[in-house]
C-alpha cells in the first residue's frame, strides 16, 4: 500500500511536466505555417467501397474506357503526369489534371474553383465531351442495368433508385479517404528532429523566409486560396485557361488559379496549370521570380527542392475493386479509334 502511494505521488509530480511537454509540442506545431495531415476517418465503409468502384468504373464513360482514375491515377500521385489529360477520342483537355490526393482539403475543386465540393466536382467529367463524353442519363442507365450495383446502392442508401446525387456522394466519400499522412516533414513537425537532414531543414527555412508560405500553408501546404499567376511579372503561356475569370467574369480574376497543394509534389511533374515547368527546380525558380520577385541561387533551389521531397506522405494502399459484370441490358460502349 505504501509503495502504491509513493508511485501515485511520483506520477502526480511528473504529470504537470508531461502535460507541459504535450502543450509545448502542440503549440510548436501550431506556430508553424504548415500542420501535419490528419489520417482519414472512415464513417461509412460501405459507401466508401461503392465510391471506390465508381472511381475505377470505366463504364461511366461513353467509350467504356475512361474512369476517374484515368486522369487522377492513384499510382502516380493522384494525377496523370501529362501536360494535359487525354479524354474521349484522344482529345486533350485545356489544362492539366490536379491531384485527387488530399483534395478534400481544398477550398474548392478544379483549378478555377468552379465546383464548391468534391461531390459537385464528380459530376462534371462524366458529361464533359472532352473527358468521359457520356451524360448523366446514360451513366445512370448503365448502373441501373447492373443488378449488383442496384443491390449495392440499396445497401448503402436504402433504396434501389440510383440517382446522380448518390453516385457523386459515393465517389466523394471515397475521395475523402485519399489523404497522405506521415510524411517525413509531418514526423519532424510532431517532434522527430531526425526526420529531416540539414539541407532539408535549410530548404524549409528558405521556403518560409522567402515568403512561399504566404500561399502554401496549412495541412495541405496550399489548396486553400486563389492567387494570380504572375504577381511580380507576367506569366507567359499559350494555354487558353483564364482561371477564376472564367467563373466570375471579372477581369481582375484573370490568371487567378487555386494555389495547388504541395503535398506529394515530387510525384507530380510537370508543374503549373499548363505544365509550364518540367521539373521541381524549374517550378521553384519560376515561382521565385514571378510570385516573389526573387532570384534563387542554385543552392537555394536545391535546398527548397530537397524540402519539397519531404512532403511525400504515405500513399493510399488501394486494393483494386472487382467491378460487377454488365447485364444483357447494359448500354454498350462507343469505342474510339
State yes or no: 255 annotated in a binding site.
no
Burial of 207 (0-12, 13-18, 19+ CB in 10 A): buried
Rg (CA), the chain: 23
Annotated binding-site residue? 68:
yes
**Does a cis peptide bond (omega within 30 degrees of 0) precede residue 288?**
no
Q: What is the DSSP letter of 209?
A: H
Query: Among residues 2, 49, 57, 131, which one is catalytic?
Result: 131
216 belongs to an annotated ligand binding site: yes
Alpha-carbon distance 332 to 324, whole Å?
15
- Measured distance CA(190)–CA(29) in Å, rounded: 7
- Asked if 33 and 208 touch (Cβ cutoff 8 Å), the reply is yes
- Is 72 part of any known ligand binding site? yes
324 to 49, 56, 61, 147: CA distances (angstroms) = 13, 12, 16, 8
Cα separation, 334 vs 39, whole angstroms: 40
Told to judge if 300 belongs to the known catalytic residues of this protein, a careful annotator would answer no
CB 53 within 8 A of CB 177: no
Whether residue 47 is annotated as binding a ligand: the answer is no
Q: Is 287 marked as a binding-site residue?
A: yes
- Annotation-wise, does 164 bind a ligand? no
Active centre residues (catalytic): 131
Binding site members: 68, 71-72, 212, 215-216, 287
Q: Which residues are annotated as a binding site for heme c?
A: 68, 71-72, 212, 215-216, 287
Amino acid at each position: 500500500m505504501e509503495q502504491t502511494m509513493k508511485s501515485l505521488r511520483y506520477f502526480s509530480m511528473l504529470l504537470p511536466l508531461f502535460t507541459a511537454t504535450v502543450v509545448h509540442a502542440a503549440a510548436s506545431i501550431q506556430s508553424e505555417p504548415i500542420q501535419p495531415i490528419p489520417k482519414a476517418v472512415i464513417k461509412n465503409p460501405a459507401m466508401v467501397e461503392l465510391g471506390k468502384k465508381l472511381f475505377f468504373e470505366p463504364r461511366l464513360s461513353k467509350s467504356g474506357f475512361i474512369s476517374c482514375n484515368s486522369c487522377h491515377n492513384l499510382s502516380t500521385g493522384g494525377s496523370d503526369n501529362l501536360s494535359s489529360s487525354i479524354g474521349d477520342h484522344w482529345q486533350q483537355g485545356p489544362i492539366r489534371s490536379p491531384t485527387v490526393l488530399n483534395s478534400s482539403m481544398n477550398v474548392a475543386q478544379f483549378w478555377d474553383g468552379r465546383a464548391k465540393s468534391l461531390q459537385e466536382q464528380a459530376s462534371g467529367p462524366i458529361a464533359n465531351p472532352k473527358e468521359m463524353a457520356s451524360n448523366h442519363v446514360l451513366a445512370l442507365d448503365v448502373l441501373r442495368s447492373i443488378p449488383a450495383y442496384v443491390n449495392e446502392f440499396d445497401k448503402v442508401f436504402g433504396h434501389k433508385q440510383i440517382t446522380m446525387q448518390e453516385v457523386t456522394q459515393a465517389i466523394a466519400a471515397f475521395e475523402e479517404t485519399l489523404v497522405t499522412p506521415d510524411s517525413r516533414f509531418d514526423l519532424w513537425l510532431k517532434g522527430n528532429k531526425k526526420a529531416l537532414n540539414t539541407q532539408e531543414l535549410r530548404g524549409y527555412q528558405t521556403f518560409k523566409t522567402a515568403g512561399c508560405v504566404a500561399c502554401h500553408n496549412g495541412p495541405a501546404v496550399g489548396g486553400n486560396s486563389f492567387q494570380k499567376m504572375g504577381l511580380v511579372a507576367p506569366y507567359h503561356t499559350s494555354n487558353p485557361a483564364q482561371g477564376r475569370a472564367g467563373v466570375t467574369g471579372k477581369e481582375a480574376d484573370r490568371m487567378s488559379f487555386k494555389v495547388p497543394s504541395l503535398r506529394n509534389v515530387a510525384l507530380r511533374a510537370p508543374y503549373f496549370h499548363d505544365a509550364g515547368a518540367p521539373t521541381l527546380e524549374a517550378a521553384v525558380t519560376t515561382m521565385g521570380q514571378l510570385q516573389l520577385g526573387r532570384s534563387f541561387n542554385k543552392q537555394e533551389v536545391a535546398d527548397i527542392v530537397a524540402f519539397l521531397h519531404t512532403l511525400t506522405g504515405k500513399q493510399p494502399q488501394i486494393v483494386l475493386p472487382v467491378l460487377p459484370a454488365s447485364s444483357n441490358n447494359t448500354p454498350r460502349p462507343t469505342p474510339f479509334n
